[in-house]
Amino acid sequence: MRFGVLGPVAAWTDSGEPVTVPGLKVRALLADLLLHEGRPVPADRLLDDLWGDDLPGNPSGTLSAKVSQLRRAFEDAEPGSRALVVSGPAGYSLKVDSATYDALQFTAYLEQGQLEEALALWRGPAYADFADEAFVSATVARLSELRLGAQESHYTDVSALTALVAEHPLRERLRAAHIKALYRAGRQSEALDSYEQLRGLLADELGLDPGPELVALQQSVLTQELPARRNNLPAQLTELIGRGVALAEIGRRLTEDRLVTLTGPGGVGKTRLAIAAAAEAAGRFRDGVTLVELAGIAPDALDVTGSLTDALQVALDLRDVGGEDVVEHLADVLGERLLVLDNCEHVISEAAALTDRLLASAPGLRVLATSREPLGLTGEAVWNVPTLGVPALGSTVDDLQESTAVQLFVTRAAAADRAFALSDENASAVAVLCRRLDGIPLALELAATRVRALGVAGLVARLDDRFRLLATGHRGAAPRQQTLMAMIDWSWELLSPDEQAVLRRLAVHADGWTPEAAEAVCGVDVLDVLVRLVDRSLVVPVAGADGMRYRLLESVAAYCVDKLHKAGEYEAVRSRHRQYYVELAALASTHLYGAEQGVWLQRLDDESGNLCSALDGAVAAGDDGLAQQLVSSLGWYWFLRGRFAEARRSLEAVPETPVLAAWLAGYMYLHGDNGATALRDRCMADVGPRSVFWMALHCSDSGDLSQALAMLEQCLASFEQSGDRWGIAAVLAARAKHAHVRADLEALRSDSAESARLFRALGDRWGQLQALGWLGSHAELVGDFRGAVKLHTEALRMAEELGLWPDVAGEYGWLGWTAVREGDYAQAAAYGEQAFQLALEQGNRPMESLGALVLGFAARRSGELDVAEKRLQTLLDEARRQDDSVLYLSMVLDELGFLLELQGELTAARALHVEAYELGVEQESRRSMAWSLEGIAGTLALSAPAVAVRMLGAAVVVRETEGLPTTAAEEADVLRIGGAARAALGDGYDVEYAAGRLLTLEDAYALVPV
């Protein structure tokens, strides 16, 4: 049987059937017993709680009778349940635990960080049917406080948080959640108003100021920073073996400490354990979990801190941070998140400094780091990752199976050799092997790959020899590190000279490589060798953009770099590495403007670490020509991927050329830098038309429309003369933007259509997305909704392929709107929610409004009036705060007017429709005016049916003459209004309708009662 007090006090059978508990006093008895969570309650206490001063004539007998009634109710509902009510010397009690009692389950969920599950248990106020009784007041207060705390941490819905703020206006943490939710909903001014309301209340009622965290939050709202929920943890291909206790301990640490650092030697499994722990804890963080891999950052980079922040931006999928202080921006964006920083040891000082600043600036942030040494920060919880448990001497086969080291070794060995299994014959050798390798996961896995060739006994014999050779190890190094080094050194010695040469040369790669890269950098044919190195688990295969990529394990890479230096090959191999990646970037730059754009974008993503390493190396070596060639080749890639800060820093690190100055000017425009125009004017005469186009594309956003258009016309003439079809298409798409600003429909249609045609022939998806977007805007302006949806569907596919998520949100919004028009409200809500949430993550306010609009329309038309009213009213409030009328305002006014009419609020509904009609007049939108007139008719269908019918007649003529499509779903309101008027007019309906068809919209509007 199960019990609940998070709402009305109730009991259910195990099958979910409600238990009828007769009589108020019996239910109060159940409430009192539940209050004590299984602890005995003295009879005197129960009598006092249930009757107070008004005791019955026979108090103990009456109480006993009530207990019997409660037991009988339980027994009738579920045989055997009467035994749940226990009587003893200390009093009465009820057997409950966290599995059967919602209050206990609630607190258990809270302790585990499962806020969503905890809040889902509530069915109303705690002890709702006994809330006025004194005996429950303390417990109700405690549970309510816990619930409110969970809501503060978990809720992101504006309406829910607004209601809570109204109940608890002075709670700062709740107010912070409310401010964040408003901002995430695109309602920045309301977020600031909420802060000011609290500041005023604190000053007036308590004489206090808001706390520093709220002040910091206000500043983040003012600077327009938006946290986004992300979880980029990679899926793991193999089971994590032997780490259950470790995961539980790290999870507890993450609850108690804001910075947890997993330390230990290379190969002990820090990264694997961190990813698993983060995955388990993900649900506890409002803004998700973000993994940042630092292995690809060179410790001798030009700007290590800048490289760290770049890596963080890429992991967060930020298009650009802007502003002067990147770290402060990132702290705001991180919000309430778990940040996993993997492989900090080679950039320990910079990683520690960045972590310190982020934790200081982001109160809701927690960091899980992996490193061979602690970060050394105040408040850091250092958790040394233990090796796996090894078997004791004399262990039996059954004992061995309990050893986590043996479990890992046997699992991996069986994967390498299907004939292998733990047995009496090999048990002793397996035990020795696991002990000698100290249970280090990497060492065990390396050994397991050799089982098929050498057998376990052969492995043990070789380990014995190798350990004696390296018994002293490195002075001052930990014994486990010596053991791991011995294991890697042993593996190295087993390689042939050509395998050793390839392996050490591969170590110059920053973050993996392709077979082609390996061959160019190593200077020899590597394919067969690479396969053998993979078999030995010294090289790890990973999936790449267009085939297999490879990487070295961390410890193996460090070992091989040392070998490369000792062989005297380091500088020569690094030089080949730089040359290869400069040539790769140059080749990629030619493919980023055509049909293979998506593949090459992903290929450059995969090589991001190597490209950064190549640039750093070229600058450090003083090879200006190579560095200039590389940044010029990457200019368009950085733009498509939104890596504006990285692009600008790289461009500023190399000597200027006119072409590089043009690239830099464009990025300065994107950052709102006032020096962009001067740089543009200085270099424009010395660069080609594509560089001029690049600058024109962005200077229009600074308000320089006339100059931008003149530059576009200049480019167009050059492109037409040279036959550069990509350039022509790009200029036409950019010029369509100007036509849209001027509302020049014919220019908008012709430029965007021709741009789309050219880009489609070229196969350039970025270009097609731009052109199709403007074609879609034209179709929407002229009422061709089906055509618009077709265009936006095609654009959606392209946006997803390119990872342009704000554009994806917009396309989902348009698909949702089409579903509304066609009456598929469930599909509309699904699309609308996708649009809204994705736009919210990206901080794209217009697309948030589109998503909310779709959700509001779908809810109203599917009968969810309360949901619709909240959505539409939020949009209306937001629109009214704008200085100018937003484009969707008339639509929202009319839809909210229809909703109020359905609720019987005819006067308020008519006022909204009238306002919408007048907006339609201002915008010269006959379609909007007709829709508003139909809404006004709905408010008059009963009081002035003849006027209402005439309005319907006038509106339908406009729909017919203007060619505005009307679906069956859209006719629902008109049919409902017309039906009400027909019922009132009878045969007179057709006469009035015919008369209305002869009226203009203006004539019909004049009939509105004053």
pLDDT at residue 479 is higher than 80: no
Strands 91-94 and 85-88, sheet pairing: antiparallel
Is the pLDDT higher at 519 or at 190?
519
- Residue 417: pLDDT band with limits 50, 70, 90: confident
With residue 806 as reference, give the H or E element that holds it: helix 805-822
pLDDT, tens digit, 9 for 90 and up, residues 36-66? 998 999 988 999 999 988 888 888 888 888 8
Q: How many CA atoms lie within 13 A of 764 on its CB side?
A: 24
pLDDT digits (tens, 9 = 90+) for 886-928: 557 888 999 999 999 999 999 999 999 999 999 888 766 677 8
Q: Are 88 and 41 in contact (CB under 8 A)?
A: no
pLDDT digits (tens, 9 = 90+) for 152-185: 877 767 788 888 888 888 888 888 888 877 876 6
Structure tokens at 823: 């009456």
Judging by DSSP bridges, how do beta strands 539-544 and 547-552 pair with one another?
A: antiparallel
Cα 805 from Cα 782, distance rounded (Å): 27
Q: How far apart (Å, rounded) are the C-alpha atoms in residues 774 and 427?
A: 71
Amino acid 850: pLDDT: 86
What is the structure's pLDDT at 878? 84
Span 605-621, pLDDT tens digits: 999 999 999 999 999 99
Strand partners, 340: 291, 368
Q: Which two tokens stand for residue 285?
A: 């963080």
Closest CA to 70 of 61, 79, 82: 82
What pLDDT, on the 0 to 100 scale, is given for residue 484? 59
CA distance 927 to 966: 11
Q: Is the pLDDT of residue 804 over 90?
A: no
User: Cα–Cα distance between 14 and 345 in angstroms, integer?
Assistant: 54
Q: What is the pLDDT of residue 925?
A: 67
pLDDT, residue 275, reads 93
**Cβ neighbours for 287, distance < 8 A, ≥ 6 positions apart:** 227, 228, 229, 230, 334, 335, 336, 337, 364
Question: CA torsion sign, 372 to 373 to 378 to 381?
Answer: positive
Amino acid at 338: L
Distance, in Å, from the CA atom of 162 to the CA atom of 143, rounded to the nearest integer, reads 21
User: Across the chain, which distance is largest between two alpha carbons, in Å?
Assistant: 109
What is the average pLDDT score of the chain? 85
pLDDT given at position 642 = 66
Q: Give dist(CA 116, CA 113) in Å, integer.
A: 9
pLDDT of 456 reads 86
Q: Of residues 236 and 292, which shows the higher confidence score?
A: 292
Helix pair angle (348-361, 304-316), 10° resolution: 50
Helix, strand or coil, per DSSP, at residue 541: strand
Q: How confident is the model at residue 23 (pLDDT cuts 50, 70, 90)?
A: confident
Answer for the pair 916, 897: CB distance below 8 angstroms, yes or no: yes
The separation between the first and the last C-alpha atoms of the chain, rounded to the nearest angstrom, is 64
- Taking 90 as the threshold, does the pLDDT of residue 816 lie above it? no
- CA nearest 438: which of 396, 489, 485? 485
User: In 173-276, where do the E strands start and end?
Assistant: 230-231, 259-263
Share of the chain above pLDDT 90, in %: 40
Q: Which pLDDT score is estimated for 477?
A: 38
Share of the chain above pLDDT 70, in %: 90
| Strand arrangement of the beta sheet that strand 380-384 belongs to | 230-231, 288-293, 338-342, 366-371, 259-263, 380-384
Q: Tell me the mean pLDDT in the region 223-241.
A: 69
Mean pLDDT within 457-485: 50
**In angstroms, what is the C-alpha Rg of the chain?**
35
Ranking 50-59, 104-113, 546-555 by mean pLDDT, the lowest is 546-555
Structural contact between residues 278 and 368, judged by C-beta atoms closer than 8 angstroms: yes
Higher-confidence residue of 187 and 134: namely: 134
DSSP assignment of 348-402 equals HHHHHHHHHHHHHH-TT-EEEEEESS----TTEEEEEPPPPPPPPTT--HHHHTT
3-state helix, strand, coil in the chain (%, to 5): 65, 5, 25
Interval 674-697 mean pLDDT:
93
Instruction: Note the pLDDT of residue 355.
Output: 95
- SS3 (DSSP) at 654: coil
- pLDDT of residue 796 exceeding 90, the answer is no
> Would you place residue 555 in the very low, low, confident or very high pLDDT band (cuts 50, 70, 90)?
low
Q: What is the pLDDT of residue 339?
A: 95
Q: How confident is the model at residue 470 (pLDDT cuts 50, 70, 90)?
A: very low
pLDDT band at residue 844 using 50, 70 and 90 as cut-offs: very low
| 404 Cβ contact list (under 8 Å, min separation 6) | 241, 242, 243, 388, 389, 439
**Burial, 9: exposed, middle or buried (Cβ in 10 Å; 0-12, 13-18, 19+)?**
buried
Q: Where are the alpha helices (DSSP H) in 674-764?
A: 676-683, 689-699, 705-722, 725-742, 745-762
pLDDT band at 2 (very low <50, low <70, confident <90, very high): very high
Q: What is the pLDDT of residues 276-317, one digit of tens each?
A: 999 888 878 877 899 999 988 888 888 899 899 888 988 887
Q: How confident is the model at residue 882 (pLDDT cuts 50, 70, 90)?
A: low
pTM, two decimals, is 0.56
Mean pLDDT of 121-130: 90
- The answer to whether the CB of 671 falls within 8 A of the CB of 648 is yes
pLDDT score recorded for residue 228: 45
- Residue of 380, 355, 407, 153 whose CA lies nearest to 263: 380
Average the pLDDT over each of 320-334, 759-773, 794-808, 949-963 and give the range with the smallest value: 320-334
Strand partners, 380: 259
Position 274 scores a pLDDT of 94
